Amino acid sequence: MIRFEPRANPGPVLTYGVPVIAAAIAILLAAIPLALADAPIIKAYGLMISGAFGSVFSISEMLTRATPLILTGLAAAIAFRAKLWNIGAEGQLYMGAMAAVAIGSGVIDGPSWIMIPVVMIAGMVAGALMLIGPTLMKTRLGVDEVVTTLLLNFIVLLFVQMMLEGALKDPMSMGWPQSEPIIDSAVFPPLIERMRVHFGLIIALVSAIALAVFVKRTVWGFEIRAVGENAAAAKFAGISVTKTMILVAALSGGLAGLAGVAEVAGTRGYLATDLSPGYGYAGIVVAMLARLSPVGVIASALFVASVFVGADSMSRAIGVSSYLADLIVAMALLCVLIGGFLTRFTVHFDRKTAG
């Protein structure tokens, strides 16, 4: 018989070490599918590492991929901290991107120091509004936000499609469903010349640190933690659960919207329905790998991004499907969940009791 006993107080080694070990185990476990695909295992690992870190170009690609993941990861982390189960980061990302395109593709013009903040704010507001609606429905009517935010993703994507075929369609796109490009003054400048990694990375890193400080050190962060950990006690102590939830929704939706802005203004330059390869959903995984720590999100986003970029490059070289990346990330998540469990409980194996 297996029994689990809770640990009184897991130390820092366990808390921080377990996710790292879990990620390493997940990468090692990738050897099994590689072997099944008859790929040279050692060579495949080497290709993955060089694909993600082998050159300035590959590092730049990895960081470009990590940028939206940090932002959507933060969006999930702050929401989950307050037990607001926001599964709609994907939709909020697209709304943010659409708002950025709507405002940043020539309606107004100005110098970069005005245009960049303007498109950022537009995207954040759009993303925030996308989550505030379901949150109000949750607090007022008890509607499950998992269902509403998840389904809104599809509604938003269809809405974006409609707009790209209509009002936002670029007349110069030769019939492709894509928006007009962001004007130059609103484009996020690249951090390294002729590389894709852009100013959005700085925004993402600053956001992560600011969010960590916000949660830990401010009154609002205090209230978010209290509501997330024990809403009944927070309510009893006079903290407004509804207001706190709306604040969380604004932050979470805003960060996801910002991810959309970063993709449009930093990487792609225009909006299309294939803007995000599921960054919103991957953000949930990133946040869980980071155990909902804002600073930890940076590390886990870098991990997930390097697995994706490395596996892409490896699959091009030796013909193993790049779905391997999804597999590794999924296994890392499972390993972190198991690891988290082992952090909180000790396992005892008992002989079966007689009778």
Partner 1 sequence: MPGTVGRFDQLALCVAVTHHRPFAPQRDAKTKRNARMSSAAQTSQQTSQDLLLALAGITKRFGPLIANDAIDLTVHKGEIVALLGENGAGKTTLMNILFGHYVADEGTVTVAARDGNLEQLEPGAPQAALDAGIGMVHQHFTLAENLTGLDNIVLGTEPIFRLRRDRTKARAKLAELMAGSGLNVDLDQPVHKLTVGEKQRVEILKALYRDARLLVLDEPTAVLTPQEADSLFAVLRKLAQNGLAVIIIAHKLAEVLAVSHRIAVLRGGKKVGEMLTSDADHRSIAELMVGREVPVSRRIAREPGQPVLTLSDVTIDRGDSRRSLHGVSITAHEGEILGIAGVSGNGQAALAQLIAGLDKPDHGSVEIFGQKVEKFDAHQFAQNGIARIPEDRHHDGMVGSMTVAENIAIEDVRNAGYQKFGFLDFEAIRKRAEHAITDYDVRCPGPDAPARLLSGGNIQKLILARVLEKSPKLILANQPSRGLDVGAQSEVHRRLLEARQNGAAVILISEDLDELLTISDQIAVIHAGHITPAMATDTIDRSELGLMMAGQKKAHHAPTNQKTTTHSGETA
With contacts defined by CB under 8 A, name the span among 12-20, 101-109, 257-265, 343-351 that binds partner 1.
Answer: 343-351
User: Does residue 289 bind partner 1 (CB under 8 A)?
Assistant: no
CB of 169 to partner 1, least distance (A): 39
User: Does residue 155 bind partner 1 (CB under 8 A)?
Assistant: no
Nearer to partner 1, 7 or 316 (CB): 7
CB of 325 to partner 1, least distance (A): 21
Structure tokens at 106: 């020539």
Distance of CA 208 to the CA centre of its chain: 12
* Gap between the Cα atoms of 340 and 42, Å rounded: 29
Q: Which of 185, 189, 206, 173 is nearest to 71 (CA)?
A: 206
Half-sphere exposure of 24 (CA within 13 A, CB side): 5
Nearer to partner 1, 65 or 138 (CB): 138
User: Does residue 83 bind partner 1 (CB under 8 A)?
Assistant: yes
Using the rule CB under 8 A, which residue among 222, 295, 317, 322 binds partner 1?
A: 222
Note whether 157 and 118 are within 8 A (CB): no
User: Angle at Cα 95 formed by Cα 93 and Cα 97, nearest 5°?
Assistant: 70
Using the rule CB under 8 A, which residue among 13, 217, 274, 319 binds partner 1?
A: 217
Distance of CA 331 to the CA centre of its chain: 17
Nearer to partner 1, 85 or 188 (CB): 85
Note whether 207 and 74 are within 8 A (CB): yes
Binding mask 6-45 for partner 1 (x = CB under 8 A): x-xx------------------------------------
SS3 190: strand
The size of the interface with partner 1 (CB under 8 A), counted in residues, is 48
Note whether 101 and 180 are within 8 A (CB): yes
With contacts defined by CB under 8 A, name the span among 51-59, 144-152, 181-189, 253-261 that binds partner 1.
Answer: 144-152
CB of 279 to partner 1, least distance (A): 18
User: Angle at Cα 307 formed by Cα 301 and Cα 313, nearest 5°?
Assistant: 135
Note whether 197 and 62 are within 8 A (CB): no
User: Does residue 146 bind partner 1 (CB under 8 A)?
Assistant: yes
Kind and range of the H or E run holding 116? helix 112-136
Using the rule CB under 8 A, which residue among 7, 43, 316, 348 binds partner 1?
A: 348
* Gap between the Cα atoms of 230 and 214, Å rounded: 19
Q: Which positions lie near partner 1, rule CB under 8 A?
A: 3-6, 8-9, 80, 83, 85, 138-139, 142, 144-146, 217-220, 222-223, 225-226, 229-241, 288, 337, 340-341, 344-345, 348, 350-351, 353-355
